[in-house]
Structure 1
Amino acid sequence: MLGAKPQKRRDDRLIIHFDYDCFYASVFENENPSLKSVPLAVQQYEARRRGLHKLQLINEAKKIVPDVVIVLGEELGRFRDASKALYNFLAAFTWSGKVERLGFDEVWMDLTDIVDFNISLLNPHDLEHSFFQLQRDDPTTGFSFNATKIAGQVFGTPITSANPNQDAENNLMTRLTLGSHLAQHLRWALEEQKGYTSTVGISSNKILSKLVGNLNKPKDQTTLLPPYAISERDVQSGMESNVTTFIDSHDVGKVPGIGFKMSQRIRNHVLSRPADFETGLIYGGTKESVTVRDVRLFAGMGPELLEKILGGPGAERGIGGKAWNLMNGVDDTDVQQAKKVPTQISIEDSYIRLDTMPQVLKELRILATSLLKRMHTDLLEHDDDPDSVIGKRWIAHPKTVRLSTRPRPPLNADGTRSRPFNRISRSGPLPGFVFSLREEFESIIEKLVQETLVPMFRKLHPSPRGWNLSLVNIGVTNMVETASEDGKGGGRDIGRMFKRQEEVLKEWKVEDKDIPPDPLPVAEENESHSTEQTDPSAGNEVLDSIMNGSEDAIQPTQTSVEEQGIWEDDEDADEGQEKCSECGAVMPAFAMPAHERFHSFEE
């Protein structure tokens, strides 16, 4: 293999990639089985078989298939619910919990631990009658299988030449064999219990498992056979590993992790000119395929050259080396557990022509409505607090809203128009009223559009005319998790905190009440300096000293008069004063609510 060597591949894992067949159509078909026999517009199987393709205009679709059934798929709630249910079903079979969703209809599973455990249980003298144990502590839960054969389809043929890594290849082969039988068991269980068929790829990393699973669609599985690496002698003799042979045939733009812009730059460099595209106002494929093999064998190609091609302002550091590894089937990223809170939520749509402000306002309202519905679905959970009026609470608050557009470039001199690739974006703080659960939904949408999105749009496009948009995207990001019962949230729910504190400390709560002091003793006659009877109101002076500082007592100020009767005689001074019905204290009206709360604490 020419060029610099890629990073060494990790082949000690077993990763399978699930792709639910015709997921969007299957959701509708599970709701209404009668749709299975018609060319459903959201379906990518029967409709495509009859000549329709993704993102085709409805008018064109009806010309090709007049009896096509159009099903509105803009409401994503049913798809999201189905995707979560299927994810949870598959996750229940794992031990590590490493199950990662990609969109609604794709899932990676890292099954290394369960497969390696079952390898240790194999009886080498009776591999044909092996038993796959699905639970560590229950040897009766599982299924029988033939460990001498791989289940399903395969790609590649074993290389018979001497391989210094033969032991590692043998271990990988055993791991892939057991993984293929487990994948088949999961596919059958998914179809039998949930009614969804799937296509599966089995390999040692995410990129290879995803790509190899595309070979035998629908309703099948494919395992990428070893060897994944070969000796230098075999390389010099012109031999290739199964990984190289497999991935070389792919167009560079089909390699996961190499996006559209990246692949276009690589194509332009290899062709020494811009690549030609199919005609199409929305999305169109390239007419000139540049394969991974074309790139790999290009003179001087390697991580350094790719860094020059793909690098620049805003590019990921080391992007050249990453792209080079991906084109050689090297992907050491781990399968991640699905997060409770997404990193961002975005809604976008493509347009043949969007060039007037009334059109933009209409589309902004539509996109903002879909975005807020998504936020309610993904970021709201049931609130079991008995004092909650709404019954729901936010599990996260996105702090940033982003508006992106993709303007079409002006016409060229020959009347053609270059295909637009670049988006322009504007971000700002997401207003707090978006999180209101009491305000009318439509009112929130209109405020969001008028007060936030329209000003952002005008900053993106200062001129009121002359622009023509092919795409508009609205998204929220910068998620901050709120408080949760398990303490994993990033924020604080102050109301719940005080309520919980009051409940915990209730046992040690001390009642704080004003208790009149004991009556003052009457002085004995022989101890008194006067023979007059003691004034019973004298004790009030002591009470006043005790109450000093309390809001029950009106303390003298520099402008007050202490003579008895002044407050009653001065009507102007008494204006605005109120008397407490509980204790008789007189105070300004503005202080009365706080004083009443003081009495409520005594109850």
Structure 2
Amino acid sequence: MPVARPESSDARIIAHVDMDCFYVQVEQRKQPELRGLPTAVVQYNEWKGGALIAVGYEARKFGVNRHMRGHEAKEACPQINLVQVPVARGKADLSTYRNAGSEVVSILSRKGRCERASIDEVYLDLTDAAKAMLAENPPERLEAVDEDALKSHILGLKNEIGSDAKANVREWLCRSDADHRDKLLACGALIVAELRMQVLKETEFTCSAGVAHNKMLAKLASAMNKPAQQTVVPFSSVKGLLESLPVKKMKQLGGKLGTSLQNELGVNTIGDLLKFSEDKLQELYGVNTG
């Protein structure tokens, strides 16, 4: 069968919005007295204190992680608050979290098309909104840039010792001599910062985001700086990002295929993988997988 070849996506602006410890945030909104305290959410199965499915950042400081059960978490952090997932008809009832996620989606969808990847993560196509901003009110004309946008992490942007990081971000966002792709990305970063603040205002939830030219890069970026931050991937930084990225970190390469690449081809990073031609990979793994 022929392989579908997508058109160039350089001009697309895609955000991946990832809620920070979402189940914990939902429980802390229901029980405000838990805010700022070590908290984790455990599964309805109570064996050994239940399996942890979300761990708040306050608890992580004590070494608590999602591979633990409740009893182990208590040993690592005696003051931790363990909140059990609601149960309905003998099974975990995730409707509370799913509905809270829908609140977030309704806000994000004001600026673009949403694709819900899970209860706590959303892909957002901001291409049209970014193009509209660039045409009507480009960043280079802005007198003031939102504080949260100035906290963006721009991959490849060098901050010299003693330099003002926010001033450097502002300069990058508002460059009049930037190429079209970077100008669209700058618009996307401004829009995402505004949306994240709106989510916080309306739902009390914080989220992190990655802004890039496709879904894969946006998802990678959203995990780089958490919580409550955003990371932007300019086209010029893509090669450097992928060069040292562990192959198992790439979507769809975390399982057997990634293990096969490591064992059979000696591929440990995406940089290693890029040394193989598409034809060679198709020869080894079949046309579509290759």
TM range, smaller chain: 0.7 to 0.9
More helix, by proportion? 2
**Deviation of the 1:295 alpha carbon:** 2.7
Tell me the residue number matched to 2:106.
88
Are 2:272 and 1:302 aligned?
no
TM-score by length of 2: 0.77
Distance 2:221 2:138 in 1: 30
Question: Which amino acid is 2:107 matched to?
Answer: F
**Deviation of the 1:304 alpha carbon:** 3.3
Tell me the residue number matched to 2:203.
194
Following superposition of structure 1 onto structure 2, how do residues 196-215 of structure 1 map, counting pairs within 5 Å?
Answer: 196-215=205-224
Alpha-carbon deviations, 1:83-111, whole Å to 9, x = none? 122112211333xxx20011111111111
Are 2:249 and 1:254 aligned?
yes
Tell me the residue number matched to 2:81.
69
User: How many pairs are equivalent?
Assistant: 248
**Deviation of the 1:8 alpha carbon:** 7.3
**Deviation of the 1:24 alpha carbon:** 0.8
Distance 1:123 1:58 in 2: 51
Alpha-carbon deviations, 1:257-312, whole Å to 9, x = none? 334121111111134xxxxxxxxxxxxxxxxx922123334xxx23233335544x
Distance 2:262 2:274 in 1: 12
Distance 2:138 2:123 in 1: 29
Tell me the residue number matched to 2:37.
38
Tell me the residue number matched to 1:29.
28
Partner SS state of residue 100, structure 1? strand
Following superposition of structure 1 onto structure 2, how do residues 402-481 of structure 1 map, counting pairs within 5 Å?
Answer: none
Are 2:107 and 1:112 aligned?
no
Question: Which amino acid is 2:197 matched to?
Answer: W
Question: Which amino acid is 2:198 matched to?
Answer: A
TM-score by length of 1: 0.38
Q: Judging changes above 3 Å, is the alpha-carbon distance between structure 1 residues 105 and 309 closer, same or farther for their aligned structure 2 residues?
A: farther
Q: Judging changes above 3 Å, is the alpha-carbon distance between structure 1 residues 123 and 270 closer, same or farther for their aligned structure 2 residues?
A: closer
Pick from 186, 191, 195: which aligns with 1:177? 186
Tell me the residue number matched to 2:142.
128
Q: Judging changes above 3 Å, is the alpha-carbon distance between structure 1 residues 308 and 61 closer, same or farther for their aligned structure 2 residues?
A: farther
Distance 2:284 2:78 in 1: 47
Question: Which amino acid is 1:196 matched to?
Answer: F
**Deviation of the 1:17 alpha carbon:** 1.1
Question: Which amino acid is 2:132 matched to?
Answer: F
Question: Which stretches in structure 1 are left out of the alignment for 5+ residues?
Answer: 1-5, 130-143, 159-167, 228-241, 272-288, 312-316, 321-603
Distance 1:101 1:145 in 2: 29
CA contact (8 A) 1:16 1:109 kept: yes
**Deviation of the 1:115 alpha carbon:** 1.4
Distance 1:115 1:17 in 2: 15
Are 2:267 and 1:292 aligned?
no
Q: Judging changes above 3 Å, is the alpha-carbon distance between structure 1 residues 8 and 243 closer, same or farther for their aligned structure 2 residues?
A: farther
Distance 1:269 1:169 in 2: 42
Identity across the alignment (%): 28
CA contact (8 A) 2:188 2:211 kept: yes
Distance 1:40 1:63 in 2: 14
CA contact (8 A) 1:14 1:205 kept: yes
Distance 2:283 2:118 in 1: 31
Question: Which stretches in structure 2 are left out of the alignment for 5+ residues?
Answer: 42-54, 86-91, 159-176
**Deviation of the 1:221 alpha carbon:** 0.7
CA contact (8 A) 1:262 1:310 kept: no
Q: Judging changes above 3 Å, is the alpha-carbon distance between structure 1 residues 44 and 248 closer, same or farther for their aligned structure 2 residues?
A: farther
Alpha-carbon deviations, 1:182-210, whole Å to 9, x = none? 11100111101110101111111111111
Question: Which amino acid is 1:220 matched to?
Answer: Q
Q: Which runs of 4+ in 1 moved over 4 A?
A: 6-9
Distance 1:44 1:249 in 2: 29
**Deviation of the 1:23 alpha carbon:** 0.4
CA contact (8 A) 1:153 1:222 kept: yes
